[in-house]
């Protein structure tokens, strides 16, 4: 299976903007890109999804370039409660199997 | 609306024993997923159901794992016999639409095989 890669960890301070990128070189043509947040001992929680260009909701933005081989989750003005692991989820090309990214552990400091 | 329910939350068994996990998805969600999440890794899809039919079970170790979704609602995942490497959190998720769309996850079952 193709690998969907993310930076292992990122540090930030409260109030800053954080951008987390996911590389998915072999993404299914017709599938969305979805991002999740996971706290310890909990299941992942949906944040945002998109197909192309830019999507924004009340908590985040998602940027997807035209070739769709990567995506960037943007968290504006993070707080301590945003400390968590963030995953992207894509459908793999050829097989359309669902693959989670390797995960990015975000640590927010006061 | 009620979330995805899973039970048990924790299970400890010895290797070669069997274990079963139960999942009740959100009402009206046709698609149900079982994932395995090993500590420090992202979830790995084991099996995906659309109503009561299997869409993808390519990563399910079929010599020891089985899953069913009778009547297209609740689902059960079974491991028999368990191995040490099966120690992980087993997550159930459901969604209205299949694919990399918005999925709702349950709290998971943490399995420890000794």
Task: Please answer yes or no on whether B41 and A103 come within 8 Å at the CB atom.
Answer: yes
Please count the other Cβ atoms lying within 10 Å of the Cβ belonging to residue A35.
23
Of B42, B104, B110, the CB nearest to A103: B42
Residue-wise pLDDT tens digits, B42-78: 999 999 999 889 999 999 999 999 999 988 899 999 9
The pLDDT value recorded for residue A110 is 96
The pLDDT value recorded for residue B1 is 64
Residue-wise pLDDT tens digits, B1-48: 689 999 999 999 999 999 999 999 999 999 999 999 999 999 999 999
β-bridge mates for residue A27, sequence order: A92
The verdict on whether omega for the bond into residue B8 sits within 30 degrees of 0, i.e. cis, is: yes
In terms of DSSP bridges, do strands A9-13 and A104-109 run parallel, antiparallel, or are they unpaired? parallel
Of A34, A41, A44, the CB nearest to B101: A34
**Where would I find the beta strands (DSSP E) of chain B?**
5-7, 10-13, 19-24, 31-37, 44-50, 53-56, 65-68, 75-79, 88-95, 104-105, 109-113
pLDDT reading at A1 higher than 80: no
Residue-wise pLDDT tens digits, A49-65: 999 889 999 999 999 99
Task: Please answer yes or no on whether A97 and B45 come within 8 Å at the CB atom.
Answer: yes
């Amino acid at each position: 299976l193709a690998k969907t890669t993310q930076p292992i960890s990122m540090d930030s301070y409260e109030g800053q903007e954080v951008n987390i990128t996911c590389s998915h070189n072999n993404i299914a043509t017709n599938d969305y890109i979805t991002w999740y947040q996971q706290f310890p001992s909990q299941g992942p929680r949906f944040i945002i999804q998109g197909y192309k260009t830019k999507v924004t909701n009340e908590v985040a933005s998602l940027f997807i370039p035209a070739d769709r081989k990567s995506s960037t989750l943007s968290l504006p003005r993070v707080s301590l409660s945003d400390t968590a692991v963030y995953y992207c989820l894509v459908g793999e090309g050829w097989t359309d199997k669902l693959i989670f990214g390797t995960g990015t552990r975000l640590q927010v400091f006061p | 609306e009620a979330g995805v329910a899973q039970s048990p939350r924790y299970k400890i068994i010895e290797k070669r024993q069997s274990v079963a996990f139960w999942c009740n998805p959100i009402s009206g969600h046709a698609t149900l997923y079982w994932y395995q999440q090993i500590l420090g890794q992202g979830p790995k899809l084991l099996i995906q159901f659309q109503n009561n039919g299997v869409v993808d079970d390519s990563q399910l170790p079929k010599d020891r794992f089985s899953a069913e979704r009778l009547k297209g609602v609740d689902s059960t995942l079974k491991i028999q016999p368990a191995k040490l490497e099966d120690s992980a959190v087993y997550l159930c998720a459901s969604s209205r639409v299949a694919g990399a769309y918005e999925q709702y996850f349950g709290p998971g079952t943490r399995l420890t095989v000794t």
